[in-house]
Amino acid sequence: MFRSRFHIIALASLGVVAFSAQALAGEVAGYSDVTHAAASGSWLEVGLFYIVAAAACISALGVCYSKNIVRMSVWLFGALGSVSLLYFMLAANFLAAIQLIVYAGGTLILLVFGVMLTSKSPWARFEPRKIEILGATVVSGTLFVCLSLLLTRADWATTDAVVAGTSMSDFGHSLLTTYLVPFELAGVLLMIVMVGAAHLARQDK
Amino acid sequence: MEHIGLTHYLIVSAVLFCCGIFTTATKRNAIGILIGVELMLNSTGINLVAFDRYMGPGRLDGQIVALFMIVLAAAETALAVGICINVYKNLSTVDVDSASQLRG
C-alpha cells in the first residue's frame, strides 16, 4: 500500500518536472535563433548560460550526493533537461528536442522502471565504504582540477561566426548521405537490442 | 559583458564528467552506476556539440555524432536494465558486491 503510494508520488513529480522543462525549452527554442543571430554576447545569452550551467552542475552534484535511488533519478532528470537547454543555446535545436524526447522521455523512464522492479522498498539504501568515497573524491577531484587547468590554458582555433539554428532537412540530408553506414548500423543495433532486451526480461525460462 | 565561448561549455562538461565518475565509483546499487554512466555520456554530448558550434559551424559533424551517442545510450540502458532485473530475480538484490559467484 505504502509502496505503491510512493511510486505514484515519484511518477507524478517526474511528470510535473517533465512538463515544466518542456514548456521552458519551447520558450528558449523560440528565442535561440534571436540570441545567436542578433545578440551574441548580450546579457540575455550570458545570463541564460550561467543559469543553465549552474542548474546542470547542481543537478550533477545532487546525483553524486543523494543516497536514495529515486532522488538520484530526479536529479538526473534535472541534469538531462539542463543539457538539452545547453544544446538549444549552442543552436542545436533538433538535437535538443531529441535529447528531451529520447533521454528524458525514454531512457529516464526506463531507469525509473528499473528502480521500481529491483528494490524491495524504493527507499532502500546501499552505503558505500568510507575508503571508496575517499578514493572516488581523490580521483574525480584530481581529474577535474587537471581538466579545468588544461581547458582554461588551451588556445582553441574557434570561430565566432554567427550560426543559425540547425535545420532538420540538413540533418536528414547528411544522415542519408555522409553518415548512411552508421545510420543503418544504428538501426540494426536497435533491432538487436530490442530482441535482446525482450529475451533477457522474459518471464519463463 | 563577457563573451560565452567554447571554454565555458567545456568546463560544464568537465563538471558533469567528474560527477559521473564519482557516482559510478561510489554507488553500490547497479541502477545508480547506470545513472553515473548516463551523466558521463551527457558530458561527452556537450563536448561534441560545443566543438561543432565553435570550430566547424554549419558542418553538423559533431551534432550527428552526438545523435548516435544518444541512440547508443538508449540501447545500453535498455540492455543494462534487463540485466539488472535478471540479477534481482536470481539474487534478490541489485547490490553489485553481492554478485560475486564468478569470483575465483
- CATH code of the domain containing B72: 1.10.287.3510
Mean pLDDT on A175-197: 93
Judge whether B102 lies within some domain. no
Judge whether B63 lies within some domain. yes
For A75, what's the count of Cα atoms within 13 Å in the CB-facing half-sphere? 24
At position A72, the amino acid (one-letter code) is M
Query: Can you say whether the dihedral through the CA atoms of A118, A123, A126, A131 is positive or negative?
Result: positive
Judge whether B100 lies within some domain. no
Choose among B16, B57, B86: nearest Cβ to A159. B57
Structural domain containing residue B79: 6-95
Judge whether B43 lies within some domain. yes
CB B22 within 8 A of CB A137: yes
- B37 close contact with A: CB closer than 8 A: no
Classify burial at A91, counting beta carbons within 10 Å of its beta carbon; exposed 0-12, middle 13-18, buried 19 or more: buried
The top-level CATH class assigned to A2-153 is mainly alpha
Judge whether B103 lies within some domain. no
Question: Pick the residue with more confidence: B27 or B92?
Answer: B27
Mean pLDDT on B40-63: 89
Measured between CA atoms, how close is B100 to chain A, in angstroms?
A: 16
Choose among A115, A126, A194: nearest Cβ to B28. A126
Here the ipTM equals 0.91
Judge whether B1 lies within some domain. no
Single pTM value for the model: 0.82
Judge whether B101 lies within some domain. no
At position B49, the amino acid (one-letter code) is V
Per-residue confidence band for A204, with pLDDT thresholds at 50, 70 and 90 = low
Q: Which residues of B touch A56 (CB under 8 A)?
A: 12, 15-16
pLDDT digits (tens, 9 = 90+) for A37-91: 444 568 888 899 999 999 999 999 999 998 888 899 999 999 999 999 999 998 8
Judge whether B49 lies within some domain. yes
Q: How far apart are CA A87 and CA A81, in angstroms?
A: 10
Task: Locate the domains of chain A by residue range.
Answer: 2-153, 167-205
Q: Looking at the 3D structure of chain B, how many domains does it have?
A: 1
A21 contact partners, CB below 8 Å, separation of at least 6: A77, A81, A84, A100, A104
